[in-house]
Amino acid sequence: MKKVSLLVTFVLLGFCLLETQAQYNPKAPYEGPYKLNTWSLSAYLGPSQFYGDLREYDFFPVGTDNFDSRSERGTMHFGVSLGKQLTYLFGARLDVGAGNLKGMKRRIYQSYFNANYFQADVAATVNIKGLLFGPTKLKRWKMDVYAGAGQVWFKSTAYQLGSGRLQRRSDDSPTLRNNTTELNKKASSYTQEWVIPVGFSTSYELTKSLDLGLDFRLNNVNTEKLDATVGGDASSIYDGPTGGRLYEGGDANNFLGTPKGSSALDKYGYLAVTLTYKLGKNPLRVEKKNGKWAYDFNALDAGKGFYHLRYTDPKLLVKPPRILSLAEIDSIAKANKPKEIDPRLLQDTDNDGVSDYFDKEPNTPAGSIVTGAGQKIDFDKYVRDALPGMACNEIFANILFDTDKAIIKPEFYDLLNKVVELMNKTQCRLQMAGHADRRASDRYNVALSERRVNAVKQYLAQAGLKDPNRIVVDAYGSFKPIADNGTVDGLKKNRRVELKLMP
């Protein structure tokens, strides 16, 4: 029961994989811009051959039946294989197969055997065509080597050449050794052993969905009992009255040997013709155009077709970069050019800190204190009328400095004191930005503007500002002028700290 359940597990695993992921795996471990089909299902049939103790020649099976010979030909293997391509170079396969074996040996053994078997195994595959020739050569061909592990279930019976008398069975056991009636029956139960398959397969892509190929495999079995015979040297006795050497134990009168002889473990193989159906969604096959292999990128981009990872390296589906002409570059630049900015957004004619686009009084006198709309206000009256906790309007003002100085001029003390009074009465916030004219390096000007804005902040704190945390400071050096640095008046206007009172 345990043997049957293991086989059922192999088969169910294969069909579950086939049912759930026949088209492609969206989380494939290969890199590429497009999804590829990765599953395939193969059927194969071909002659099988045994390699072990009961084998007359290594490569040329005996083909005649007579008094001292038994034909080794006519054995077959058939099976199905579920393949999964993990990357272009590496994959896996699940195989389930069955077949029969024959063999004979005149010298020493004077025996022949017949065996039936079935096996299930998994193997890793390597795309040697891709390794040796690359992805662009022999595009219609696929060549793999593979190796894996699995289980084989077999029952075999050995007979004496000439007489045909039954000698040994693969299911022999100590309970059968002296039971002549049972011993003379064919093997009735299967023996289970590990098998290590290694092989080579090649296929040719006939159509978008079908491949035709060959598969040569050698199965290394972990037993000498596949031919119902445990081998040894020429001095051994193999045909005792109780059925030959298969198990350890007994005495010399029963001619019983050891469980494993001195010969190599048994092997068997096959050369099969394979027909492979490439599973997947909307299969594509690369075609030649103008002497070169061409991929249908239109179908790929539209999701109307998928190449198979068996034959397609995903790197080949990466589109080469397109080199644009100057005319194309100019056309793209014009198409993506942003709309023109209203020049009034960049102008402040009266230098009050409000852009002309929003300034309702664009000609206020220099040094005026204005609202966010650019309208001049009586700041003294505004401060006097302010009520505790009232919301603040947006108010702009400038503090000017002498050349290369960060000392506040007395003429601005009254303005700053009023700012302190207003902030202590209300919840106003203050944003200050320091600036300099252009007559120094950028690094020096940024440091100078930072000293100026910190000087104003320090004055406000000393003047009694209760919450300095409501002040935000910035330093821009000479990067944001409001006047022409080529004139004396322009230089003067640029040496400033901008005050912006906000709600």
The pLDDT value recorded for residue 110 is: 86
Q: What is the mean pLDDT of residues 354-379?
A: 76
Highest mean pLDDT: which of 45-54, 248-257, 314-323, 383-392? 45-54
Could you report the per-residue pLDDT of 292-302, keeping only the tens digit for each? 888 888 888 88
- Give the three-class secondary structure for 453: helix
Asked whether residue 269 carries a pLDDT value surpassing 50, the answer given is: yes
Q: What is the mean pLDDT of residues 286-290?
A: 87
Asked whether residue 57 carries a pLDDT value surpassing 90, the answer given is: no
- What is the C-alpha separation between 4 and 452, in angstroms, rounded? 90
Q: Do the domains spanning 2-317 and 378-502 agree at the CATH topology level?
A: no
- Looking at every residue in the chain, the average pLDDT score rounds to 82
The pLDDT value recorded for residue 345 is: 60
Q: Which residue has the tokens 């206020």?
A: 364
**Residues 80, 93 contacting (CB under 8 angstroms):** no
Say which range, 14-18, 161-165, 365-369, 462-466, has the weakest mean pLDDT.
14-18
For the domain made up of 2-317, give the CATH fold: Porin (2.40.160)
The pLDDT value recorded for residue 197 is: 97
- Model confidence band, residue 346 (pLDDT cutoffs 50, 70, 90): low
Asked whether residue 2 carries a pLDDT value surpassing 70, the answer given is: no
The pLDDT value recorded for residue 232 is: 62
Nearest to 318 by CA among 295, 292, 286, 287: 295
Helix axes 442-462, 413-425, angle to 10 degrees: 60
Highest mean pLDDT: which of 26-40, 182-196, 245-259, 282-296? 282-296
Q: What is the mean pLDDT of residues 187-195?
A: 85
Give the H/E segment covering residue 279. Answer: none
Report the share of the chain in percent with pLDDT over 70: 81
The pLDDT value recorded for residue 15 is: 39
132 vs 256, more confident:
132
Asked whether residue 236 carries a pLDDT value surpassing 70, the answer given is: no
The pLDDT value recorded for residue 33 is: 76
| Residue extents of the structural domains in the chain | 2-317, 378-502
- Model confidence band, residue 182 (pLDDT cutoffs 50, 70, 90): low
Full DSSP string of 305-327: -B-BTTT--GGGGSPPPP---HH
Could you report the per-residue pLDDT of 93-114, keeping only the tens digit for each? 999 999 999 999 988 888 899 9
The pLDDT value recorded for residue 440 is: 87
Q: What is the mean pLDDT of residues 281-303?
A: 86
Could you report the per-residue pLDDT of 384-402, keeping only the tens digit for each? 888 787 778 888 888 999 9
Asked whether residue 498 carries a pLDDT value surpassing 70, the answer given is: yes
Which residue blocks in 275-370 are alpha helix, DSSP H? 297-302, 326-335
For the domain made up of 378-502, give the CATH fold: 60s Ribosomal Protein L30; Chain: A; (3.30.1330)
Q: What is the mean pLDDT of residues 393-416?
A: 90
Report the share of the chain in percent with pLDDT over 90: 40
**Residues 245, 158 contacting (CB under 8 angstroms):** no
- What is the C-alpha separation between 232 and 220, in angstroms, rounded? 19
